Amino acid sequence: MNSSTNSCPKTRWYILPPLSPVGYLAIGTMLGIISQQALGLLSTLLIILCVGLPLFIKRSIVPAIARVFVYALIGGTVLGAGRMAWSEKKNTLPVSHKDTIDIKAHVLEREETDVPPWKMRITLHVNKFRINKAEKRWHPAHFTMRTYLASPCDIHIDDQIVAYQLPVSIPQEGSIKLYFARERVETTSFTYRLRYYCITRPTYSLRRMLYLRRNKLFDSLSKRMSIYNFSLFASLFAGNKKTNINEFNATATEFRRWGIVHYLARSGLHMATLALLWKVIFRWIPAPWRMRIFLQMLAIAVYALLSWSSVSFIRALIVLAGTNFYDALKIPSNLLQILSVACLLMLLVNPYLIFFIDFQLTFLLTCALVIFNRACANALPTK
């Protein structure tokens, strides 16, 4: 006698969520940057041509549903290689190592340092230069110089200055050159006393105002808190590990013994915790839904402007802005797609980020958590 058995659907223990075309565009951009750094632009374009041309001529090789993803991958590779080639060309300097130059420059950053004998660090965008003072003709330029000073001077952000007799130190091949390329600094200079004069100082400057407000706020907090508490506050809340560096190193040593020193670094988790706290607070405001989302993003923007940024912090900021954008439109958010957009934007702004461990870990770990979360959700039986 034939007995009929009820067939139960098999539980899928894991499902790898498919990437959107933006995800393949981001992967292609990473491949293009790495290929350009290792092989050069011509070799990269030749490889892309050899792979992409047969796929374009015989489209039947690739299914129609996958054709968009293949084109996105190839387009991303071209985009990444071109962006990296443009960055390498931009880093070509018109001056040589150990030259002494006079410059006309725009002040981008100013920061006090605790590395003896240097007390101050300024970042300059050089517009014009000349090799020696006897040369009257100024040559046009477009590069960034980071200058370390042993004695502080009255230079502020967005000033236009003329500086004399600056020794040029160009980072040589290796990790140091790659680090300065990531910082978008082409050359450095170390001088004990800066000979300069200020050409113009704008009456109103947003960046200078934010810099002064941030320093004033932190000076006020440092006077009301103990050194230990302020060092933890500066590291965890503001992302500044250079405040009271001796106290911070002592605390980091204790955390390192337990293997939890990464808790002292501000990460995307801190940003998500603050965003959740603000979301709970703004929920009690009697305002429309989109207005509350706008107020939440405004608070996050003010917090970002008054603190020190990092790769993981910027990644969390873009992801948070993307999820709030989806919420404002009342559309279910796709975290992998938002992560792909964040990765693509950050690499287009600075392609050298891909060679550093902080960028690699913040995206790989976040993607792994998103995939694991979706796999667990799909493995649970549905009613």
**Element (DSSP H or E) covering residue 179:** helix 175-182
Question: Which residues of the chain fall below pLDDT 50?
Answer: 1-17
CA distances to 231, 336, 362 from 322, rounded to whole Å, are 32, 11, 17
Question: Does residue 326 fall inside a structural domain?
Answer: no
Nearest to 245 by CA among 119, 111, 113: 113
Question: Does residue 26 fall inside a structural domain?
Answer: yes
Q: Of 47, 68, 90, which closes a domain?
A: 90
Return all residues near 30 (Cβ < 8 A) that are at least 6 apart.
76, 80, 343, 347, 354
HSE-CB of 355 using CA atoms within 13 angstroms = 21
Question: Does residue 162 fall inside a structural domain?
Answer: yes
pLDDT of 53 reads 63
CB atoms under 10 Å from CB of 22, counted, come to: 19
Name the pairing type of β-strands 187-191 and 139-149.
parallel
Question: Does residue 135 fall inside a structural domain?
Answer: yes
Q: Of 187, 203, 219, which closes a domain?
A: 203
Q: Assess whether 118 and 27 both reside in one domain.
A: no
CA distances to 97, 108, 145, 291 from 186, rounded to whole Å, are 11, 14, 6, 43
Query: Can you say whether the dihedral through the CA atoms of 206, 209, 213, 219 is positive or negative?
Result: positive
- At 120 the three-state DSSP class reads strand
With beta carbons less than 8 A apart as the criterion, state whether 344 and 30 touch. Answer: no
CB atoms under 10 Å from CB of 362, counted, come to: 24
CA distances to 102, 182, 193 from 163, rounded to whole Å, are 6, 25, 11
Rg of the chain on CA atoms, in Å: 26
Question: Does residue 279 fall inside a structural domain?
Answer: no
pLDDT in tens, 296-335: 889 888 888 888 888 988 999 999 999 989 888 888 888 8
Q: Assess whether 129 and 50 both reside in one domain.
A: no
pLDDT in tens, 180-191: 889 889 899 999
Question: Does residue 285 fall inside a structural domain?
Answer: no
Q: Of 203, 233, 256, which closes a domain?
A: 203
**Element (DSSP H or E) covering residue 282:** helix 268-282
Q: What are phi and psi of 258, to 5 degrees?
A: -95, 0
d(Cα 257, Cα 95) in Å, to the nearest integer?
A: 47
Q: Assess whether 191 and 239 both reside in one domain.
A: no
Q: Assess whether 198 and 259 both reside in one domain.
A: no
27 exposure class (CB count in 10 Å sphere: 0-12, 13-18, 19+): buried
Q: Assess whether 124 and 157 both reside in one domain.
A: yes
Tokens of 175: 């990790």
Q: Assess whether 67 and 45 both reside in one domain.
A: yes
- At 22 the three-state DSSP class reads helix
Q: Assess whether 108 and 199 both reside in one domain.
A: yes
Q: Assess whether 115 and 180 both reside in one domain.
A: yes
9 prior amide bond cis, ω within 30: no
pLDDT of 5 reads 43
Question: Does residue 380 fall inside a structural domain?
Answer: no
Q: What is the CATH number of the domain that holds 113?
A: 2.40.50
Whole domain around residue 61: which residue ranges? 21-90
Q: Assess whether 196 and 119 both reside in one domain.
A: yes
Report the number of distinct structural domains present in the chain: 3
